[in-house]
């Protein structure tokens, strides 16, 4: 093997350093083990680079905008430079606005709040609730789950062709499913939307941590994502895209920072002139550290190189899929089929097990953290699982009401900070639990499956 080839192979195997990589947790069977965090799709661990950057800035933290002091001016520059860094990461157009929010959910609710009157919204039933639910004040068409990427495009095209009138319309679609990890045909869906005079917003919460996201290349009108899935804690989200609807609407939140001038009228009322920049929808003191953390994560991922990150993740995906394929009792959930490209997110069920019970055993007996349930994508998971209830086992699903059929799945997710050992331990644990059963007894407590003490 040449030196360059050896270096390339090593880069595929080497994870980016993250916080918590050396944390040990107790096992119910005795002893401790290094925690295997395999729930990246919910919240990814913070990159060490992000944490170090934030720690270096923390002593200089100050108020943002309009402060005369040195720390205030420094913090303002840092905040606005973070905005520019993230816009570059997303390959935004020159006239796009980038607004800091609290999360993907907040970003999409903001967009829902600025929709023009009589706007029609088209959204697949397969979306995360963050994309599925914010459009309550619009005329919404919920589209059936497609079974191929081509069917997704054809379904949207037909729905848009049959819509009432020629007023404003918006399509909301995920880039990568938070349930199956499968990649959606975003560029083709954007082309279909624009062909019918509609706009499109991309929920990139699960895509941005794993693949490059280019607003221009994908030709989407807006993109939304969350810092906490992009290895950046502190609760910041982003909405970036076309400015016209954002400028025309009333501010998402009314308050300081969103207003340019406020005056009293002669009749005693208040007159407000709102900003037309991103500040219009960023009322209140901004989350400077959160914005800086997202920008730091964007820089770290860019410098690591998405080609390298994607290659390494495919290596981990192949390990997990090959290991699960050796266990006949395991069924991996999929919309588009086994060969569909995906990010490091897989959901599955195990014959003879309730998924909550299985996930609890992975945690308590092996120190492996996964997610169980319906993953805030209830219509999609119910479609994938069908109507057959799982074995109740010793614990039920957290979403199941008393007497309700238990219907839930297990999700394993990983990314740039995951070492090979974690996915190898996970595959081994699945095999052992299916073969030998749990070593401990479990019960339902406060809606969760927990070890019995």
User: What gap in Å lies between CA 219 and CA 199, rounded to an integer?
Assistant: 10
Q: What does the angle CA 34 – CA 345 – CA 44 come to, to the nearest 5 degrees?
A: 50
User: What gap in Å lies between CA 327 and CA 426, rounded to an integer?
Assistant: 13
Q: Token pair for residue 49? A: 């680079």
Phi, psi torsion values for 6, nearest 5 degrees: -65, -40
Answer whether 430's CB lies under 8 Å from 19's CB. no
Q: State the Cα torsion 64-67-71-75 to the nearest 10°.
A: 20
User: What gap in Å lies between CA 313 and CA 369, rounded to an integer?
Assistant: 18
Phi, psi torsion values for 173, nearest 5 degrees: -145, 150
Q: Token pair for residue 450? A: 């927990």
Other Cβ atoms less than 10 A from the Cβ of 321: the count is 14
Active-site residue (options: 92, 119, 172, 376): 376
Q: What does the angle CA 414 – CA 145 – CA 142 come to, to the nearest 5 degrees?
A: 115
309 DSSP 8-state letter: H
User: What gap in Å lies between CA 159 and CA 142, rounded to an integer?
Assistant: 10
User: What gap in Å lies between CA 290 and CA 419, rounded to an integer?
Assistant: 26
278 DSSP 8-state letter: G
Listed residue (21, 40, 147) closest to 411, CA to CA: 40
Q: What does the angle CA 354 – CA 356 – CA 359 come to, to the nearest 5 degrees?
A: 110
Phi, psi torsion values for 207, nearest 5 degrees: -90, -45
- Burial degree of 451 (CB within 10 A; 0-12, 13-18, 19+): buried
User: What gap in Å lies between CA 47 and CA 15, rounded to an integer?
Assistant: 10
Residues 6+ apart with CB under 8 A from 262: 270, 271, 272, 273
Q: Is residue 376 annotated as part of the catalytic site, yes or no?
A: yes
User: What gap in Å lies between CA 291 and CA 238, rounded to an integer?
Assistant: 9
Question: Hey, which residues are catalytic here?
Answer: 376
């Amino acid at each position: 093997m040449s030196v360059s080839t050896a270096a390339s192979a090593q880069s595929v195997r080497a994870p980016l350093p993250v916080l918590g990589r050396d944390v040990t947790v107790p096992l119910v069977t005795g002893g401790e083990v290094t925690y295997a965090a395999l729930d990246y799709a919910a919240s990814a661990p913070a990159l060490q680079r992000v944490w170090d950057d934030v720690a270096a800035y923390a002593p200089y933290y100050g108020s943002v905008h309009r402060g005369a002091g040195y720390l205030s001016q420094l913090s303002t520059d840092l905040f606005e430079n973070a905005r520019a860094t993230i816009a570059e990461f997303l390959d935004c157009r020159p006239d796009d606005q980038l607004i800091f929010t609290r999360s993907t959910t907040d970003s999409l609710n903001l967009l829902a709040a600025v929709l023009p009157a009589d706007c029609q919204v088209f959204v697949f039933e397969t979306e995360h609730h963050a994309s599925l639910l914010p459009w309550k004040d619009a005329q919404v068409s919920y589209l059936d789950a497609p079974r191929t990427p081509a069917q997704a495009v054809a379904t949207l095209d037909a729905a848009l062709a049959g819509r009432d009138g020629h007023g404003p319309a918006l399509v909301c679609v995920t880039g990568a499913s938070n349930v199956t990890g499968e990649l959606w045909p975003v560029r083709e869906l954007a082309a279909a939307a624009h062909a019918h005079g509609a706009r499109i917003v991309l929920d990139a919460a699960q895509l941005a941590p794993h693949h490059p996201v280019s607003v221009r290349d994908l030709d989407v009108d807006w993109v939304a994502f969350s810092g906490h899935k992009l290895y950046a804690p502190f609760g910041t989200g982003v909405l970036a895209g076309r400015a016209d609807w954002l400028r025309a609407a009333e501010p998402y939140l009314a308050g300081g920072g969103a207003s340019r001038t406020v005056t009293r009228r002669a009749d005693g009322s208040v007159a407000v002139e709102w900003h037309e920049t991103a500040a219009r929808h960023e009322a209140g003191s901004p989350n400077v550290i959160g914005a800086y953390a997202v920008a730091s994560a964007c820089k770290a991922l860019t410098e690591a190189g998405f080609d390298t990150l994607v290659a390494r993740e495919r290596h981990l995906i192949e390990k997990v899929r090959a290991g699960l394929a050796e266990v006949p009792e395991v069924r991996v959930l999929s919309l588009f089929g086994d060969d569909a490209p995906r990010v490091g997110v897989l959901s599955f069920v195990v014959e003879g097990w309730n998924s909550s019970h299985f996930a609890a055993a992975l945690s308590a007996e092996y120190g492996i953290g996964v997610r169980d349930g319906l993953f805030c994508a209830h219509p999609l998971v119910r479609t994938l699982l069908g109507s057959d209830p799982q074995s109740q086992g010793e614990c039920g699903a957290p979403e199941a009401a008393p007497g309700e059929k238990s219907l839930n799945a297990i999700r394993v997710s990983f990314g740039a900070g995951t070492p090979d050992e974690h996915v190898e331990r996970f595959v081994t644990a699945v095999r052992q639990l299916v073969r030998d059963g749990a070593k401990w007894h479990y019960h339902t407590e406060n809606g969760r499956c927990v070890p019995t003490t």
